[in-house]
Every structure is written in structure tokens, then in C-alpha cells.
Amino acid sequence: EVQLVQSGAEVKKPGESLKISCKDSGNSFTNYWIGWVRQMPGKGLEWMGVIYPRDSDTRYSPSFQGQVTISADKSISTAYLQWSSLKASDTAMYYCARALSLVRSPAFDIWGQGTMVTVSS
Amino acid sequence: IVLTQSPGTLSLSPGERATLSCRASQSVISDYLAWYQQKPGQAPRLLISGTSSRATGIPDRFSGSGSGTDFTLTISRLEAEDFAVYYCQQYGSALFTFGPGTKVDIK
């Protein structure tokens, strides 16, 4: 059974950098897309971007383009979301999720447990 | 494409029927519309993809329908575990978009 296991909660200061991870426990990491979704406290879901680990094809939401970097290391079945300079407004829960295809019924069928990122001085 | 969900909150009793609406600012390919359920403190769970196909393990009291710009998630008889927030999501022009959500709470 495929599971996405995310790294633990982070507490950072404004201006610091951060890289959180999402590890796939299955054997098909390169056969699907991994997306990242932000959920600010008490708010809804916001799609940030997706990556296809096989060739690192990456698509970003215009709202997050240039604000974060999505990457993947297929050798260890892990996707990453990183910031170079955090802001207080980056405080949120971040989920990774699997999409089997972007051509047929694009949807996120398996989700990680979430990583809470708190940015505070 | 912007998704609008209504109502914002739906107050119902167990056993009642819930009808949730998702309206898109432009036409959505039916295969590209999905619904999720999220309970407090949990990750979202996929309920429906391709407008009407239930995900693995989703009970048949959940059904999806619609086309073009108007889509509906119906819960035929609410059970205690169904009280949650529901999001629609579309994929188009290489972008995913989520609606703002409908909260279904106990009346």
C-alpha cells in the first residue's frame, strides 16, 4: 500500500530557509505526480504545484511561482518543498499528495499526513 | 478557472440528504472535476474523481454529477462521520484549483 510520509513540524524565524519532505513508501514513485497543497490556519486548500519525479517536470500555481521550489530525488522516493526566505505568512499546514495522471481524471488520491510550518520571530 | 461552492455551511441532521454545489467560472472538462472530504485535524480524502467516479472505499451514499460549469456532490443519507468540510477541485490549463469549501455540520 502506497503511503506518503511527511517530515515533522517546523518552527522557524522570518528570513530563514526550510526544506520539507514527502517520502513514498511504495515502489512506483516515478510513475505518478506529487503535488503540494497549502492550508493556512482555519482556511481552505490551495494548490501550490506538482512534480513528476521520473523527469522532474514541475508545474507551479502562479500564486506560488518564485515563492517556493518543488523538487524530487527519485533514488530515495522523496519529494521536497523548499523556501529560501520564510515569511510569517508562510505559517500553514503543507500536504503532499499523489496524482496518478494529469491527463485522465486528475485528482489527488493519496495524501501525506501534513507538515505544520510555523514562522514567528 | 475560479470555483465557487454553495452553501458555505449546510446544517442538517443525520439521515437527511445533503446537496452541495460547485460552480466554475468557465466550463470544466467532466473528467477533471473531483471532490474531497476533510475532517478536523486530518488530511483531505478523495471522494469523487471524474465528476462521478467514487474513489476506492467510498460508500455509495456519496454521488457526484454535473457538467460544464455546474457540479453537485450528493450525500444520500448523512451519517455521523459525514459531518466535515467538502471541497471541489478542477484541473485545467495545467493548473489545479480548489473551491472554498462547504461545511456540513450537525443541526
Report the mean per-residue pLDDT for chain A: 96
Span B33-88, pLDDT tens digits: 999 999 999 999 999 999 999 999 999 999 999 999 999 999 999 999 999 999 99
For residue B23, give every residue at least 6 positions away whose Cβ sits within 8 Å of its Cβ, in sequence order, or none: B3, B4, B5, B6, B69, B70, B71
Exposure string of A20-36, with b = 16+ CB inside 10 Å and e = fewer, is: bbbbbeeeebeebbbbb
User: Which residue numbers in chain A have pLDDT < 50?
Assistant: none
The C-alpha cell of B12 is what? 442538517
The whole-number pLDDT of residue B59 equals 98
pLDDT at A27: 77
Q: What is the mean pLDDT of residues B18-47?
A: 97
Is residue B107 very low, low, confident or very high in pLDDT (cuts 50, 70, 90)? very high
Closest partner CB to B31 (pick from A44, A105, A113): A105
In the predicted model, what is the mean pLDDT of residues B79-101?
Answer: 96
**A-B Cβ pairs (cutoff 8 Å, strict):** 67
Task: Give B-chain residues touching A96 at CB under 8 angstroms.
Answer: none
Q: Judge contact between B71 and B88, C-beta under 8 A.
A: yes
CB-side neighbour CA atoms (13 Å) of A109: 20
Report the alpha-carbon distance of residue B72 to residue B79 in Å, rounded: 19
Hey, are the CB atoms on B95 and A59 less than 8 Å from each other?
A: yes
Q: With b meaning 16 or more CB within 10 Å and e meaning fewer, what string describes A41-69?
A: eeebbbbbbbbbbeeeebbbbeebeeebe
87-116 of A, contacting B, C-beta below 8 A: 95, 97, 102, 104-109, 111-114
Rounded-to-integer distance, Cα A23 and Cα A4, Å: 5
The DSSP string of chain A is ---EEEPPPEEE-TT--EEEEEEE-SS-GGGSEEEEEEE-TT--EEEEEEEETTTTEEEE-TTTBTTBEEEEEGGGTEEEEEESS--GGG-EEEEEEEES-SSSS--EEEE---EEEEE--
Length of chain B: 107
pLDDT attached to residue A30: 87
Q: Once rounded to an integer, what is the mean pLDDT over residues B24-34?
A: 95
